[in-house]
C-alpha cells in the first residue's frame, strides 16, 4: 500500500503546479454526467486516467484533450462511442499527414 501512495505522490509531483486533478466523481459533476459514464469513457480509451489505489484521477490536460477530441460528437451509447473513436482517429491521421506534408 505504501508503494502505491509513493508512486501516486511521485506522479502528482511531476504535474505542473497549476494542473488540476479530478476524481471520477468530481469529473462527472464537472461534465454534468454520472460516474459510470466517466468509467465507460475511460474503459473505452476516450480519456486517460491515473489509477490511485481504489479509484482513478484525471488531469486537466486529459480532460482538455478529451473535450477537444470529442467536441460535438455523440457519445450516448457504445455504438456511438465506437463511431466517434473512428472519426477522431481519421481526423488525427489526416492532420498528421497534413503536418508532414507542410514540413517538407
Mean pLDDT of 22-27: 96
**Entry pTM:** 0.74
Which pLDDT tens digit goes with each residue over 49-99? Answer: 999 988 999 999 999 999 999 999 999 999 999 999 999 999 999 988 765
Which pLDDT tens digit goes with each residue over 30-44? Answer: 999 999 999 999 999
Q: Which residues contact 89 (CB under 8 A, 6 or more apart)?
A: none
The dihedral of CA 62, 63, 68, 69: what is its sign?
A: positive
Q: Residue 103 — very low, low, confident or very high, per pLDDT cuts 50/70/90?
A: low
First to last CA, the chain: 51
- Beta strands across the sheet bearing 50-52: 21-23, 55-59, 50-52
Query: SS3 for 93?
Result: helix
Amino acid at each position: 500500500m505504501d508503494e502505491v501512495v509513493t508512486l501516486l505522490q511521485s506522479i502528482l509531483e511531476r504535474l505542473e503546479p497549476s494542473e488540476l486533478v479530478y476524481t471520477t466523481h468530481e469529473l462527472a459533476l464537472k461534465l454534468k454526467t454520472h460516474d459510470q459514464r466517466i468509467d465507460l469513457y475511460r474503459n473505452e480509451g476516450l480519456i486517460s486516467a491515473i489509477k490511485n489505489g481504489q479509484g482513478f484521477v484525471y488531469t486537466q490536460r486529459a480532460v482538455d484533450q478529451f473535450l477537444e477530441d470529442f467536441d460535438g460528437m455523440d457519445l450516448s451509447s457504445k455504438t456511438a462511442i465506437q463511431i466517434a473513436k473512428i472519426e477522431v482517429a481519421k481526423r488525427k491521421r489526416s492532420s498528421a499527414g497534413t503536418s508532414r506534408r507542410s514540413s517538407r
